[in-house]
Amino acid sequence: MEMKSFIFRTCKPSKKLEMRHLYGDEKLHFHSYLRLGTKSSTLLIKGSVMVPTVQPFIEDVDYKRPLHPHEVQIEVRAVGIDEQDVDRFSRSIPGESLGWQGAGIVAGLGSAVQGLQVGDAVMALRTSSGTFQTFFHAHSAAVVKVPAGTSFAEAAALPVAFSTAYHCLANVARIQKEDKVLSHQASGDIGLAAVQIAQSLEATIYCTVSDDSQRQCILGMGIPPTQVLGTESWKKELSVVANSDKVDVILNLSPRGVESKDLNCLSSFGHLIDLHGQGVLGPVSASTSNRTYSTVDIRSMALQNPRAIQDTLQNLTTLLTQQKVRPLSPTKFGFSGLSNALSEIRQGIPGPWVLEPRPTELLPVAINPLGGHTFDPNASYVLVGGFGGIGRSVARWMVTRGAKNFIFVARSGASSDPAK
């Protein structure tokens, strides 16, 4: 089958969500399959009553709507997913969509968009609906061109991690050359991006890790072994290697929150940036005055005020073009591999993770319910070739909707047992 527009959104299983073959029996819940092509855009719904393991796509009704003045329509080539997508998918919030970042080709431009052309390769942060679809819309302020030499898969995994890291260190903390930065739990996507951003700004970065695999991950970024510290022993190790237990910036990537004693490790006018927003745990000493605590959520910034991240994205592309930072190597799945990708994220396997629409894969597509149409019981209905399997299914369905009189036109008549 061929549809023009599809998109991803989660939905709680409900009797109202039925996947039916176009001519399916009223009591059956079937779905059809779509082979992705160049003109399709899809929305995925999670599960159904009768087929709980199937994640069908449904048509995106916004595909053909006029673009807003500052809106860009992007044909998706890759979608970056992360832990927040796992959380959203598992909670099955009705109407929720997945994907906070993506990369693709500009397919349409609003009347006020400048600096972009149809056909440009771009990457973007989500500013409205999710990016896990074959076409999505984003505010032009959250869309930038993909630097030369960067693949779509690499670009799709860039916006969230690198924009977060750049905004935290360059805009919020305003780090300078030779500043000391401590990154807690730095082996994730944002942590690895922060390592590169700090290096590009000529700061000294220390990273805490909890096991050897995380340590090797950080060492692979070119960080000296003496700057990779244990999660529980970092203060002691820091005082040895840096001749001080004070740093200028603490970037907390741990969901456990920030302990108040960590503030004592900030230098005067230091900055603690918390990406999980749990607040400071424990009493805060008066001696920690002239220290700043901030929380950062780049996703909500993109949704609520896309222009606030425009300069960050532009500066990021400059660093990429100058090769002062480099993309992370993603693990790639097809759109049909969503469950496998989410499973890897749950297991804590290092990312980033990217989903790609592949023309060779078949995707389940939910057929729109046929509605509440009824037939006049006093009318007669002609079914040409109606003794075949499809014709008989149509006739039975029409009977359930009130039809009583049929005229079947067939070359062989009612000769077969099923027809009789």
* % of the chain residues with pLDDT over 70: 77
- pLDDT band of 387, cuts 50, 70, 90: low
- pLDDT band of 200, cuts 50, 70, 90: very high
- pLDDT mean over 150-157: 97
Give Cα separations from 231 to 72, 189, 228, 241, 251 (angstroms): 43, 18, 10, 16, 13
Q: Is the pLDDT of residue 9 over 60?
A: no
Q: Is the pLDDT of residue 197 over 90?
A: yes
Comparing 163 with 368, the larger pLDDT belongs to: 163
Which of these, 367, 398, 393, lies nearest to 17 by C-alpha position? 367
pLDDT in tens, 26-76: 333 334 555 655 444 555 544 333 333 446 677 777 778 899 999 999 999
Comparing 377 with 173, the larger pLDDT belongs to: 173
Which of these, 55, 73, 60, lies nearest to 111 by C-alpha position? 73
Torsion angles phi and psi, residue 188, rounded to 5? -80, 180
What confidence score (pLDDT) does residue 41 get?
52
Q: Is the pLDDT of residue 158 over 80?
A: yes
Q: Is the pLDDT of residue 262 over 50?
A: yes
Mean pLDDT, the chain, as a whole number? 80
Comparing 110 with 84, the larger pLDDT belongs to: 110
Comparing 146 with 86, the larger pLDDT belongs to: 146
How far is Cα 401 from Cα 393, in angstroms, rounded to an integer? 13
- pLDDT mean over 280-307: 78
Cα–Cα–Cα angle for 192, 254, 230, rounded to 5 degrees: 75
Enumerate residues 6+ apart whose C-beta is below 8 A from 367: 19, 20, 21, 22, 24, 30, 31, 32
What confidence score (pLDDT) does residue 1 get?
36
pLDDT in tens, 390-409: 777 788 878 877 888 988 88
- pLDDT mean over 114-130: 94
* % of the chain residues with pLDDT over 90: 41
Q: Is the pLDDT of residue 152 over 70?
A: yes
Which of these, 358, 392, 396, lies nearest to 375 by C-alpha position? 396
Contact 366, 379 (CB under 8 A): no
What confidence score (pLDDT) does residue 351 get?
82
What confidence score (pLDDT) does residue 316 get?
96
Q: Is the pLDDT of residue 236 over 50?
A: yes
Of the segments 21-35, 86-100, 250-264, 281-295, which one has the largest average pLDDT value?
Answer: 250-264
Q: Is the pLDDT of residue 286 over 90?
A: no
- pLDDT mean over 190-212: 94
Torsion angles phi and psi, residue 73, rounded to 5? -100, 130
Residue 22, number of CB atoms within 10 A of its CB: 13
Cis peptide preceding 352, ω within 30 of 0? yes
- pLDDT mean over 81-107: 81
- pLDDT band of 245, cuts 50, 70, 90: confident
- pLDDT band of 246, cuts 50, 70, 90: confident
Comparing 124 with 377, the larger pLDDT belongs to: 124
What confidence score (pLDDT) does residue 254 get?
81
How far is Cα 191 from Cα 185, in angstroms, rounded to an integer? 7
- pLDDT mean over 245-262: 81
Contact 47, 13 (CB under 8 A): yes
- pLDDT band of 285, cuts 50, 70, 90: low
**The two three-digit tokens of residue 129, written as one number:** 């609906």
Q: Is the pLDDT of residue 350 over 70?
A: yes
Q: Is the pLDDT of residue 10 over 50?
A: no
